A and B are shown apart, each in its own frame.
Chain A
Amino acid sequence: MDRETVERVARAAHIKLTEAELEEYSKDLNDILSYFELLDEAPDCEGFGVNPIEVADVLREDEPRMELDPDVLLKDMDTYERYVRGPRLS
């Protein structure tokens, strides 16, 4: 992974890197990705899931309910008139 790619990935991940970090991560990620080449020789298999066990359809009924008081959830959030504060969009 070259420095340009690391910069592109960092932008996508919303992380600003210093020059020293760019240098360090470029080297580390290259070492790690070289090690990942081992996966190329790993045996293949038919099909795969995202969990290590079978998770059947175990969803509960879709009934609205409120378990936590919104004011309790908002107690430590930076808010304005019960809206969460955030940066401007443009």
Chain B
Amino acid sequence: MTMKSILSKLKETNAKYSMFHAMTGDDDPGDSKFLFSAKDNLTSCDMETCSGSRILIGYRPAFDATSIARMRSAGGKLIGKCNMDEFGFGTFSSNSGLEIPRNPYDLERACGGSSGGSACAAAVFEDHVSLGVSTGGSICCPASFCGVYGIAPTYGRVSRYGLIDYGNSLDKIGVISAKAGDLRKYIHVISGKDEKDPTSCAQPELKDEGRKLKSVAIPKEGVEGLSKDVEKAFEESVEALKGMGVDVERVEMPSLKYAMPAYYVLATSEASTNLARYVGMRYGQQKGDLSLKFDDYFSSFRSEYFGSEAKRRILLGTYTRMAGFRDRYYAKALKVRQVVIKDYKRVLADHDAVLAPTMPFTAPRFDDISRMSALDAYKADYLTIPANIAGTPHMSVPCGYDGNGMPIGMQFVADHWNEEVLFDIAERWEKGFEMRRPEVVG
């Protein structure tokens, strides 16, 4: 009954929140066991896929991403493709060439990014699971801002086949839901080896042996620069975790401060090569002036249809890969990634997870976002980037609300391939945490 009811209210709900760029027109769930949505950078053969970009308008993929295909095989019905920052380039889902999702707790505020539409859908619809994609924090950030659970598994755990690449060495497909139990359930559905993505074939089996999270380490660097509301909610949550029997130790992780510049070098370097394929041929926008010469034809499309942030990141990534700069930026960033991984391994040898707030502040208003410089917006990701550059599984769980009633999240980071302890703590935390849902459509 809930599925039919949700399908009948899809259009009016989307008119309010703009979570979907494309939606199913079918209001009959048929034999479906559950409804799901997916970030619009995952290809779907029945819905347009634009990755938040005007340059891909009109692109109707001939195949499903493996993650979407596996959700369908498990009985899922895809109801919508979720709005996002263009190609994943942003923290608030406001860098979109299409529609910008609105926070279900306050429509004047952002959902977070770049999987903002996914987190919005998970918060608004009853019994809903959404697939998100994280490159530098794009699952945990919006999960935190929209008051839901979100997990980005280990890099390589979920096949990236059918994912429109942002940064190949960073992209991870994960799950967002208002129910903690959905993280375990649906990571099991979408994970596993897929010969179409060789990185997925390197993974060990996803364990589910009842391993508990018993201890966490809180890095000094992870509790600096927080808003007062976030700091208060986080410290109260730490006390609650202690009450649940979790050991807590304060540690230092000096490498974390280098993760952010290293991330932006790697991410933009990879993005600038990935986006070279969008030239007004084969995908999306293709109606150009064929009398133009080769270079002019390509440049005319890219200049007209890429958004401002996409151009900024292409320029930055092209520069850091140029002869003369490669060693200073790209090669150094690859080394810093190893330093960050070693720092995590050192701490995780004695603890089950590293814990910090997910974001330093709650969902900002759109007018405040418009006044941020590019660098200010990049710096907002300093808590989510280290786990992403390290490829370690990480998860945001709701842990409080600020004075305006906006959700606050905390982020657990486990060692490579140890998603199991994250599932455990999310499910135990949910039993004691009083979640305040926004208006729910069911």
Contacts and interface: CB of A to CB of B under 8 A. Distances in A.
Interface of A: 1, 5-6, 9-10, 12-17, 21, 25, 28-29, 31-33, 35-36, 38-40, 42-45, 47-56, 58-60, 68-69, 72-73, 75-78, 84-90
Instruction: Report, nearest first, the 9 A-B pairs whose CB atoms are least far apart.
Output: A52-B391, A87-B297, A58-B201, A42-B258, A48-B334, A78-B286, A16-B303, A13-B318, A28-B374
A70 B425 CA distance: 47
Interface of B: 58-60, 62-63, 154-156, 169-170, 195, 198-199, 201-202, 255, 257-258, 261-262, 264-265, 272, 276, 279, 281-283, 286-288, 290-300, 302-303, 306, 308, 311-312, 314-316, 318-319, 322, 328-329, 331-339, 341-342, 373-375, 378, 389-392, 416
Given A9-B315, A21-B311, A39-B258, A88 B62 contact: no
Contact of B279 (A14, A36, A42, A76): A14
Given A15-B306, A76-B58, A87-B293, A28 B375 contact: yes
A64 to B, nearest CB: 15
Most buried by A among B300, B315, B337: B315
Given A39-B265, A48-B337, A54 B316 contact: no
B199 A90 contact: no
A75 B58 CA distance: 11
Contacts of A68: 62-63
A42 B439 CA distance: 47
Given A55-B198, A84-B281, A76 B339 contact: no
A31 B199 contact: no
Contacts of B264: 32, 36
Given A14-B279, A39-B262, A39-B265, A32 B293 contact: no
B212 to A, nearest CB: 24
B339 A45 contact: yes
Helix, strand, loop or mixed for chain B's interface?
helix
B46 to A, nearest CB: 13
A31 B391 CA distance: 27
A62 B306 CA distance: 36
A22 B276 CA distance: 20
Contacts of B292: 87
Contacts, number: 176
B258 A58 contact: no
14 contacts: A9-B319, A13-B276, A14-B276, A14-B295, A29-B316, A38-B258, A42-B255, A42-B336, A47-B338, A51-B391, A56-B202, A58-B201, A77-B282, A85-B290
B342 A45 contact: yes
Contact of A15 (B170, B311, B336): B311
Contacts of B156: 51, 53, 55
A12 B258 CA distance: 28
A10 B322 CA distance: 12
Most buried by B among A5, A28, A42: A42
Given A53-B391, A55-B156, A86 B335 contact: no
Nearest to A47: B338
A84 B202 CA distance: 36
Contacts of B331: 48
Contacts of B391: 51-53
Contact of B338 (A1, A13, A28, A48): A48
Contacts of B335: 42, 44-45, 48
A70 to B, nearest CB: 10
B206 to A, nearest CB: 14
B155 A51 contact: yes
Nearest to B325: A33
Contacts of A31: 373-375
B312 A25 contact: yes
A39 B297 contact: no
Nearest to A41: B258
Given A13-B272, A15-B306, A25 B315 contact: yes
